Amino acid sequence: MTSSSLPPSIRRELTGKKLVWHLSWNGLHLGLFALGWWSQWSNQRLAALNGLRYSVWTSRGAGLVLAFDGTIILLPMLRNLIKLLRPQLSWLIPLDESIWFHRQVAYQLLIYAIVHTTAHYVNFINVERTQVRKQTAWEIHYTQPGGFTGHVMLLIMLLMYTTAHKTIRQRCFEAFWYTHHLAFFFMIGFYTHATGCFVRDSVDPDYVAVFPFYSTNHCLGYESWRFAIWGGILYFSERVWREVRSRRQTAITNVKIHPSGALELRFVKPSMKYKAGQWLFLNCPEVSKWQWHPFTISSAPEDPFISVHIRQVGDFTQALGARLGATVGVSGESLMDSEKGGRRGDWIEISPAMGKPMPLLRIDGPFGAPAEDVFKSEVAVLIGAGIGVTPFASILKHIWYAQRAGKLGALRRVEFIWSCREAGSFGWFQSLLEEIEEAQTDSNFLRMSIYLTQKMDSDAVQNIVINSVGQEYDPLTLLRTRTLFGRPDFQQIFSALAASINGGSYLVGREATLKTRLGVYYCGPNPLARVIQAEAMKCKSDTIDVKFAKEHF
């Protein structure tokens, strides 16, 4: 099979940095496997057990790999620690890809768990057959702590891996979310697995009464829990801290419902500090005690409130809308008058005085924010695809405040590109973009380009264009900026940008020979990220330095 006949998703993994990563990552695992194998094989005290030969060497090799992966699997989920480390270490470790890394560890854990279990099954059968110990395979499997915890862990893995599959996550997120909390029991099984004391230089296990319930005088090589447990301690401490933090005083101050049914929830939480573009977990115990949903902060740190814009798409968001008296029915249709094409600045405000008192809100966060370096670039290109526009609402607002305060840092120009599938989605940030657009005094500083990618017949497009001639506002977005139809051509966008930076017309008054720092920030689906990154990187030259950052939900 030639490499060109492989599917693109596999080909991508086998080129450039990805290939180096896979070789090193798998190399590390094979190295650990070999070390575990060797330490069993070369240990004279385990000569009797080594009579089982390959199966016992394999189980020990895979066991060491599992100890390593079990230690690090929780580290990428330490969201607060990652947030703290991000500014210092993002050049060295791709901290924004923490979930991707968590998955890479999980894949290795699965592979080596299969190897470890299979080898142990052979071990146990051979113990029974050779009677190196007076035990049956069945006894070792189900009555000894090692066998018992191993099977519990396998069952939990089966549940966790299947519900973590993309299709289940998308169709029933709760199934994935709740099942993933079985990790707590998995970890207990993991830390106590060695209590079975299978690898020993004596006939009887050397149990003791205190944790880890065996003595290392005869149970040999069972030391890994000493380092493995730190991953769990760190994660557990962070979860406790998040729980405490989320219960700090929070009060809803205002609820608005925008055209298209987007619900804007404003609240104050004096203890919470955040940066533009970050997101949070929201819980409303009255709607659901256990569900925590992520939403991007749409306010800027300078605002006297914190806001999130919520699309009412499923069980939780609709129930929240209903509890707040802000169902889609209240809003959209009455605000978006299809004949007149909607009215600028319209929303319905649902104030606490209008009905029941506002419900209790719990907020866990903030998290994330690869776009926090915007002010280090001279030219910032902000690209949002669909729902991926949300972090830019806050970033654009923050830039606007900085502009007013004359604190733009190195930032000289901003290009904001939003590509959206349906016209209905424009209602999302319409009022926010309106405010920002109105506030611009320098038309060159911020340029917005809004693309509608939905397939429309040419008559409909022509109608919209004809009707908008002479109108101050675009009929679809209700902004001064005109909607562009079709997908953005990123090749053309970036080559034109590079040409005008190099030609000196883009940053007027700047020496064309100086190096311009171009920052490209993207939020949206991964396949588009690859296209944008590739096109943006083509701008890199002696005169343009390019940085690309992405976030995907």
Ligand X SMILES: Cc1cc2nc3c(=O)[nH]c(=O)nc-3n(C[C@H](O)[C@H](O)[C@H](O)COP(=O)(O)OP(=O)(O)OC[C@H]3O[C@@H](n4cnc5c(N)ncnc54)[C@H](O)[C@@H]3O)c2cc1C
**Does residue 169 interact with ligand X by CB under 6 A?**
yes
Shortest distance in whole angstroms from residue 216 CB to ligand X: 43
**Does residue 317 interact with ligand X by CB under 6 A?**
yes
Task: Give the whole-angstrom CA distance, residue 104 versus residue 323.
Answer: 40
**Does residue 392 interact with ligand X by CB under 6 A?**
no
Residue carrying structure tokens 């760190």: 234
Our CB check for ligand X shows the closer of 104 and 318 to be: 318
Shortest distance in whole angstroms from residue 339 CB to ligand X: 28
**Does residue 225 interact with ligand X by CB under 6 A?**
no
| Stretch of 108-116, 152-160, 315-323, 459-467 contacting ligand X, by CB under 6 A | 315-323
Torsion region of 155: left, alpha or beta (phi above 0 gives left; psi -120 to 50 gives alpha): alpha
Our CB check for ligand X shows the closer of 368 and 488 to be: 368
**Does residue 390 interact with ligand X by CB under 6 A?**
yes
Shortest distance in whole angstroms from residue 172 CB to ligand X: 7
Whether a cis peptide bond, with omega within 30° of 0, leads into 352 is no
Our CB check for ligand X shows the closer of 25 and 553 to be: 553
Please say whether the dihedral angle defined by the alpha carbons of residues 252, 426, 523 and 493, taken in this order, is positive or negative.
negative
Residue nearest to ligand X (CB): 314
Torsion region of 368: left, alpha or beta (phi above 0 gives left; psi -120 to 50 gives alpha): left
DSSP state of 347: -
| Stretch of 33-41, 247-255, 310-318, 447-455 contacting ligand X, by CB under 6 A | 310-318
**Does residue 309 interact with ligand X by CB under 6 A?**
yes
Residue from 316, 426, 473, 506 in contact with ligand X (CB under 6 A): 316
**Does residue 293 interact with ligand X by CB under 6 A?**
yes
Shortest distance in whole angstroms from residue 546 CB to ligand X: 25
Would you tell me the crossing angle of helices 16-41 and 54-72 to the nearest 10 degrees?
A: 130
Shortest distance in whole angstroms from residue 370 CB to ligand X: 12
The separation between CA 388 and the C-alpha centre of its own chain, rounded to angstroms, equals: 12
Shortest distance in whole angstroms from residue 86 CB to ligand X: 15
C-alpha closest to that of 147 among 186, 120, 180:
120
Task: Give the whole-angstrom CA distance, residue 272 versus residue 395.
Answer: 18
Task: Give the whole-angstrom CA distance, residue 58 versus residue 45.
Answer: 18
DSSP state of 297: B
Our CB check for ligand X shows the closer of 287 and 380 to be: 287
Whether a cis peptide bond, with omega within 30° of 0, leads into 212 is yes
Shortest distance in whole angstroms from residue 433 CB to ligand X: 15
**Does residue 193 interact with ligand X by CB under 6 A?**
no
**Does residue 311 interact with ligand X by CB under 6 A?**
yes
Residue 389 phi, psi (nearest 5): -75, -20
| Stretch of 18-26, 238-246, 287-295, 299-307 contacting ligand X, by CB under 6 A | 287-295
**Does residue 426 interact with ligand X by CB under 6 A?**
no
Amino acid identity of residue 75, one-letter, is L
**Does residue 295 interact with ligand X by CB under 6 A?**
yes
**Does residue 310 interact with ligand X by CB under 6 A?**
yes
Our CB check for ligand X shows the closer of 170 and 526 to be: 170
Cβ neighbours of residue 81 closer than 8 Å, sequence gap 6 or more: 234, 238
**Does residue 553 interact with ligand X by CB under 6 A?**
yes
Task: Give the whole-angstrom CA distance, residue 93 versus residue 95.
Answer: 6
C-alpha closest to that of 93 among 66, 68, 116, 72:
72
**Does residue 539 interact with ligand X by CB under 6 A?**
no
**Does residue 59 interact with ligand X by CB under 6 A?**
no
Please say whether the dihedral angle defined by the alpha carbons of residues 5, 9, 13 and 17, taken in this order, is positive or negative.
positive
**Does residue 278 interact with ligand X by CB under 6 A?**
no
**Does residue 95 interact with ligand X by CB under 6 A?**
no
**Does residue 178 interact with ligand X by CB under 6 A?**
no
Q: How many residues bind ligand X (CB under 6 A)?
A: 21
Residues in the chain: 553
Cβ contact 119:58 at 8 Å: yes
x-or-dash pattern for ligand X, window 231-270, by CB under 6 A?
----------------------------------------
**Does residue 299 interact with ligand X by CB under 6 A?**
no
Cβ contact 111:119 at 8 Å: no
Our CB check for ligand X shows the closer of 236 and 553 to be: 553
3-state secondary structure (DSSP) of residue 105: helix
Our CB check for ligand X shows the closer of 148 and 316 to be: 316
**Does residue 274 interact with ligand X by CB under 6 A?**
no
CA distances in angstroms from 440 to 302, 335, 431, listed in the order given: 18, 26, 15
Cα angle 335, 337, 343 (rounded to 5 degrees) comes to: 60
Our CB check for ligand X shows the closer of 285 and 486 to be: 285
Shortest distance in whole angstroms from residue 331 CB to ligand X: 14
Q: Token pair of 166, please?
A: 């993309």
N- to C-terminal Cα separation, the chain: 35
Q: Compute and round to an integer the Cα radius of gyration of the chain.
A: 29
C-alpha closest to that of 134 among 233, 204, 55:
204
**Does residue 294 interact with ligand X by CB under 6 A?**
yes
Our CB check for ligand X shows the closer of 81 and 152 to be: 81
| Stretch of 108-116, 202-210, 290-298, 540-548 contacting ligand X, by CB under 6 A | 290-298
Shortest distance in whole angstroms from residue 547 CB to ligand X: 21
Residue from 296, 327, 419, 516 in contact with ligand X (CB under 6 A): 296
C-alpha closest to that of 299 among 278, 325, 324:
278
Shortest distance in whole angstroms from residue 348 CB to ligand X: 18
Q: Token pair of 369, please?
A: 């924010």
**Does residue 99 interact with ligand X by CB under 6 A?**
no
Our CB check for ligand X shows the closer of 127 and 528 to be: 528
Q: Which residues bind ligand X (CB under 6 A)?
A: 169-170, 173, 177, 279, 293-296, 308-311, 313-317, 387, 390, 553
